[in-house]
Structure 1
Amino acid sequence: MAEKKKSVSIKKGDTVKVIAGKDKGAEGRVIQVLREEQRVIVEGVNRVKRHTKVVNQGGRAGTTGGIITAEAPIHVSNVMLVEGGGVTRIGFRRDEVTKRRPDGSTYKAERSVRISRKTGKEI
């Protein structure tokens, strides 16, 4: 039996607020979504320092050493979407749309849209 793909309702580019952890209360834009691990990387949140060594690759230019600060992933359960000045949960609604086939005929189909649980508006 095939494994079910894990879904994450937070998308790249969303503005989120951290609701738990050391950066609680911080807001930032989602840079990357790691769907399999159910984690997101948020701009300016959960910053970690990495100490790297100088690497020379046989006379070619290698990497420079030093202390690099970067964002680490945070679990999606620790963030909420910011919408209209406050945070909201995310829901889904199925909208019926009319699509057109290459031969010109039309048919009815459904598409899934994200909605704000607080306001009911499409995100």
Structure 2
Amino acid sequence: MPRPWSAAARRLRQLKGVKRKPPEPIRRWKMVRGDSVEVLAGKDKGKQGKLIDIDRKLNRVFVQGLNTHLKYTPPRDDYKGGYIASEAPLHYSKVALVDPADMKRARIGYQYRGDGEKVRVSNRTGTMIPKPLESKERRDFKTRNAYKEGPKDTRPDDVQTRTYRPSLLSFEEEILSQVKPKG
């Protein structure tokens, strides 16, 4: 802790109010969820794992079982609480894709196949790196087969019933036509 009258303390006071802007997001990601990657830096350097999540806004990735830290969860109703190992994020530049041909890290490029499909290719061996099936699954909504209809859902036959009748009358004329005359 620097002395309050020192230059270091003055710099710390100035930096406390400064908010850092988020990093510039990457436009073209070459990695997708489910890819095999190798960690290039940190305590798990050289280990390989599978990408379980990608944060595209902050340029961070989560590798399954690697770069873990202990996270405390407090006790709740039926859970006694304790420490749980969870994956910490890694910067995208600290991981590299693994070439499926020789299971070594590789730089990749893109090529077009004969049918016009764009595929990822290892620059070193020239083998194609297919995108895993997990990358095509969306995690922000349920699939139609897994969805269970509830009491507040609109039934399909109610959707087809016609409830609006268009007319050329104004709102006032429509109201007056619905009122029954007295007498």
Structure 1 residues 40 and 5 mapped into 2: Cα distance closer, same or farther (>3 Å)?
Answer: closer
Deviation of residue 45 (structure 1)? 0.8
Return the alpha-carbon distance in structure 1 between the equivalents of residues 25 and 58 of structure 2.
13
Trace 1:1-123 onto structure 2 (pairs within 5 A).
6-56=27-77, 64-83=80-99, 84-95=102-113, 97=115, 110-123=116-129
Return the alpha-carbon distance in structure 2 between the equivalents of residues 25 and 5 of structure 1.
24
Structure 1 residues 69 and 92 mapped into 2: Cα distance closer, same or farther (>3 Å)?
Answer: same
Return the alpha-carbon distance in structure 2 between the equivalents of residues 4 and 29 of structure 1.
22
For structure 1, the residue ranges without an aligned partner over 5 or more in a row are 98-109
- Match for residue 141 of structure 2? none
The ranges of structure 1 where at least 4 consecutive aligned residues each deviate by more than 6 angstroms after the TM superposition are none
Deviation of residue 95 (structure 1)? 3.4
- Give the number of the structure with larger relative contact order, counting CA–CA contacts within 8 Å between residues 6 or more apart: 1
Paired letter, 1:122: M
SS in structure 2 at match of 1:113: strand
Aligned positions, number: 104
Deviation of residue 114 (structure 1)? 0.7
Deviation of residue 36 (structure 1)? 2.1
Paired letter, 1:74: L
1 or 2, which has the higher helix percentage?
2
SS in structure 1 at match of 2:93: helix
SS in structure 2 at match of 1:93: strand
Return the alpha-carbon distance in structure 2 between the equivalents of residues 6 and 113 of structure 1.
17
The structure having more radius of gyration, on CA atoms, is 2
Structure 1 residues 94 and 70 mapped into 2: Cα distance closer, same or farther (>3 Å)?
Answer: same
Deviation of residue 7 (structure 1)? 2.7
Q: TM-score, normalised to structure 2's length?
A: 0.50
Deviation of residue 5 (structure 1)? 6.7
For structure 2, the residue ranges without an aligned partner over 5 or more in a row are 1-23, 130-183
Q: Is the 8 A contact 1:8 1:76 kept in 2?
A: no
Q: Deviations over 1:38-88 (max 9, x none)?
A: 2211111110111121234xxxx6x54211111111111111112223110
Q: TM-score, normalised to structure 1's length?
A: 0.72
Deviation of residue 6 (structure 1)? 2.9
